[in-house]
Structure 1
Amino acid sequence: MLSLHKPKAERGIHAVNANGSGPKPLYGGQAVIEGVMMRGPRFMAVAMRDPKGKIVLHSEALSPIYTSRWAKVPFLRGLLLLWDALGLGSRVLGLSANVQAETEDETLEGTPLLLTMLASFGMAIGLFFVLPAGLAHLVERYFTLSPLAGNLLEGVLRLAILLGYLWAVGRMEEIRRVFGYHGAEHKTIHAYEAGLKLTPKTVDKFPLEHPRCGTAFLLTVIVLSILVFTLIGPLPLLLRLLLRVLLIPVLAGVAYEYLRFTAANMRNPLVRVLVAPNLALQRLTTRPPDAKMLEVGIAAFNEMLRLETSKTAKPKALKLKPAKAAKR
């Protein structure tokens, strides 16, 4: 799952070198098909195993949005970085699929990428916001529930749909492998932030859960929606659905700031209690990785770190055979 944390060292939001010499920049990542993507403020790298078992690498410079002034504006930065991160996530997923096919299919850029992202957003909004709101409205009218009870029911349904969806997709073998690479991503970042040498043996000692995981963003938005929508009085169905959709950007912006705050204060006992549900949810989106998955996560991280720590290093673009040529 995609890490939504801004990958940049900031006061109070950093890992400390093992020798206590100072802060390390924070990095994020995402699991892809048979691989892991790691990203910093300037570059991203993705490592994947091809059908022959060989690790292949692709790296590139990131959008300037991650280091722009807009990325420093509270609440707005969450929306901007989330949108760009989703676009990047869609592209690297497409790349990993092409690696498994050993062909270079149509590149997901421009209009196709925008349409894919809009379709994904539409499905997510329909499943997690419109559906529970509509069901709660029907139950509220049929059983003559109070608006407060109806809104609480809507929140419970929304949370149940999220948990059920994650559980269901996690039963698929292909997704279970992606979740294994998700665990490899978390363990690798944990090991780096602990100041240890990145080897499969040392990396595997760390937990599957990570406080900056993008999975936490989903749960935070759901919980915030329960708190906000419960306070709203009775509304006609269409207005109720419209309000849910319109408030999503607001909820997303608040959720992002909340995650930044908790990531900055993980040593606080109260914060640890607050983030416990987010960490628990990651049990549905991660699986224990095997040694080969850990090797891939380490390869992606090392390539990203090579670019982030050098002023002269250049990205390595992966070249695949064109789809038409591969079919001959």
Structure 2
Amino acid sequence: MKDKQTSGAAESCAFRTTIGGQALIEGILMRGPQKQAIVVRNQEGELEVKEEELKLIKDRHPTLGLPFIRGVVNFGDSLVKGIKALMWSAEFYPEEEEEEPSRFEQWIEKRFGSEAAMKWVLGFSVAVGLVFAIALFIILPTLATSALLYFFPEAPMWLRNLLEGVAKLVIFFAYLVLCSRLKDIHRTFCYHGAEHKTIFCYERGLELTVENARAMPRHHPRCGTSFLFVVIVVAVLASCVVFALPGIRDVATNPLVRILLHLLLLPVVVGITYEFNRLVGRHDNLVTRVLSAPGMWMQNFTTFEPDDSMLEVAIEALNRVLPQEKGADAW
């Protein structure tokens, strides 16, 4: 009864914070308005902490903070910082048999130093992640749909766009389900649940304790999973509009042209999705709940119930990024 009452009180509270997080290997990254903190529980059970003052790009280049542009910039910045934090957390859980650095890695480190080598590794990781995402969610569904409709050349453009959108959603859903069944990923998704519960606890004005956080919901409307889901939906809608334009409609049946157009539309899609999520995140009503419902449902596969030790990590990370001025992190 206490958990239900706490959860109900949580849903009725109006405060929303801009603080967000990311689950890591046995840890959590929390990002506040002024700084970010990474907290990882090492193999000895102790907490390893790394704090960093945030240097916002829009402060140096105000143009990059304008609506629609800021979404692309923030997404790229979060991607780089997230991978860097993930690599840092992995250092506390090395593989049993560490491989020798490759000749290329040894050459980079010898010629430019270990810091440059780390930047090369980070850049390579970001590039591989982007290529994998493009191959899985753009190239694969486009080619699969084109192969299916090869036998129906007179199929209308709306049907092609619809099938391609369905293929993207199916691949996305299957990817989440498969990842959630992997033991290590499942544990990381438990930390994801701890992050959500802790942020909910803070937004409800409750004391940040394990007991209070444990009673909070593990699904959060401003989660990255919801963002990715909306990206796919907006991409489908954008392609329906652009591919129907005169001059594009005739060539949009070519799979290579479609892939190129999808890539060109990607920054636009990310920018629109970011603004959409900001708008939905500011309000709590029937419309916003309906719009966020699919992403919330997807979190059944990306968040799981954490144990108390995971909640302790999340609380420590959140405490370290809270602003000195109360309310400075309001959404």
**TM-score of the superposition, structure 1-length normalised?**
0.82
Mapped to 1, the partners of 2:253 and 2:67 lie a distance apart of: 31
Mapped to 1, the partners of 2:198 and 2:39 lie a distance apart of: 13
- The 1:24–1:283 alpha-carbon spacing in structure 2 relative to 1, beyond 3 Å, is closer
Alignment partner, residue 279 of structure 1 = 296
Aligned-partner SS, 1:162: helix
Deviation of 1:120 (Å): 0.7
| AA in 1 matched with 2:143 | G
2:237 equivalent to 1:245: no
Mapped to 2, the partners of 1:300 and 1:286 lie a distance apart of: 18
- Contact 1:130–1:244 (Cα < 8 Å) also in 2: no
Aligned-partner SS, 1:159: helix
Mapped to 2, the partners of 1:95 and 1:218 lie a distance apart of: 24
Match among 33, 51, 61 for residue 25 of structure 2: 33
Deviation of 1:67 (Å): 4.8
Mapped to 1, the partners of 2:296 and 2:50 lie a distance apart of: 30
Mapped to 2, the partners of 1:175 and 1:246 lie a distance apart of: 32
Deviation of 1:197 (Å): 0.5
Deviation of 1:175 (Å): 0.3
Structure 1, unmatched stretches of 5+, are: 1-14, 311-328
2:55 equivalent to 1:63: yes
**TM-score of the superposition, structure 2-length normalised?**
0.81
2:131 equivalent to 1:114: no
Mapped to 1, the partners of 2:142 and 2:16 lie a distance apart of: 43
Deviation of 1:163 (Å): 0.2
Aligned-partner SS, 1:56: strand
Mapped to 2, the partners of 1:168 and 1:70 lie a distance apart of: 40
Deviation of 1:192 (Å): 0.5
**Per-residue deviation, residues 47-79 of structure 1 (Å, max 9, x unmatched):** 111011112211111222265534530000001
Match among 213, 229, 235 for residue 253 of structure 2: 235
| AA in 2 matched with 1:29 | G
Match among 232, 250, 254 for residue 222 of structure 1: 232
Match among 179, 182, 185 for residue 189 of structure 2: 179
| AA in 2 matched with 1:80 | V
Alignment partner, residue 45 of structure 2 = 53
Deviation of 1:25 (Å): 4.9
Number of aligned positions between the proteins: 287
Mapped to 1, the partners of 2:199 and 2:255 lie a distance apart of: 45
Alignment partner, residue 207 of structure 2 = 197
Aligned-partner SS, 2:93: helix
Cα RMSD for the two superposed structures? 2.3
Mapped to 2, the partners of 1:52 and 1:244 lie a distance apart of: 47
**Per-residue deviation, residues 127-151 of structure 1 (Å, max 9, x unmatched):** 0011101110111112343322122
Match among 253, 264, 274 for residue 282 of structure 2: 264
Mapped to 1, the partners of 2:59 and 2:150 lie a distance apart of: 50
Aligned-partner SS, 1:203: helix
**Per-residue deviation, residues 26-52 of structure 1 (Å, max 9, x unmatched):** 211110000111111221111111011
Deviation of 1:97 (Å): 0.3
Alignment partner, residue 104 of structure 2 = none
Mapped to 2, the partners of 1:84 and 1:262 lie a distance apart of: 22
- Contact 1:140–1:147 (Cα < 8 Å) also in 2: no
- The 1:224–1:48 alpha-carbon spacing in structure 2 relative to 1, beyond 3 Å, is same
- Contact 2:38–2:85 (Cα < 8 Å) also in 1: yes
- Contact 2:34–2:321 (Cα < 8 Å) also in 1: no
Match among 169, 175, 178 for residue 165 of structure 1: 175
Mapped to 1, the partners of 2:79 and 2:184 lie a distance apart of: 21
